[in-house]
Amino acid sequence: MVEIFEVNSVNHYVSRIFLDKKLEDHLPIYRVEDLFRGNYSRLEKLCKAMVKKNRLSTVKGICLRNNLEGYQTLDYDETWDDGLPPLDSFGPISKKESCLSLNPGVEVIFVSNIMEIE
């Protein structure tokens, strides 16, 4: 019974990868990969689905990122890997000249709720 639920959940998430990107239910491959991270049987099923869709660079990328066995013979081209998460365009503000900077004497205290304000 548990195996049936696992197969159905994998199929549900994998099917959302192939939906039109404009739809609200679409999931990028990197998010599904992140959901399955650490669960090798689910990652393997994800790889098999990608092979059926001829996304071989994506499969190789998933295997490399998650230390999966198999698919070693596939060629890997990072430009064709749909599973790579987008690059984070944010960086330290101190390195951006276009950003405002605070005086070194200014102390910043982050407050998580109103009770922390003195």
pLDDT per residue as tens digits for the range 55-109: 887 888 888 888 887 766 666 666 666 677 766 666 555 566 666 677 778 888 8
In whole angstroms, how far apart are CA 54 and each of 46, 57, 62, 81? 12, 9, 14, 12
Structural domain count, the chain: 1
Domain that holds residue 50: 2-85
pLDDT tens sequence across 46-67 = 888 888 888 887 888 888 888 8
In a domain, 101, yes or no: no
Q: What is the pTM of this model?
A: 0.61
In a domain, 117, yes or no: no
Taken as a whole, the chain contains a residue count of 118
In a domain, 93, yes or no: no
In a domain, 74, yes or no: yes
Helix (H/G/I), strand (E/B), else coil: 110: coil
User: From CA 46, how far away is CA 115, in angstroms rounded?
Assistant: 46
User: From CA 92, how far away is CA 74, in angstroms rounded?
Assistant: 37
User: From CA 39, how far away is CA 9, in angstroms rounded?
Assistant: 13
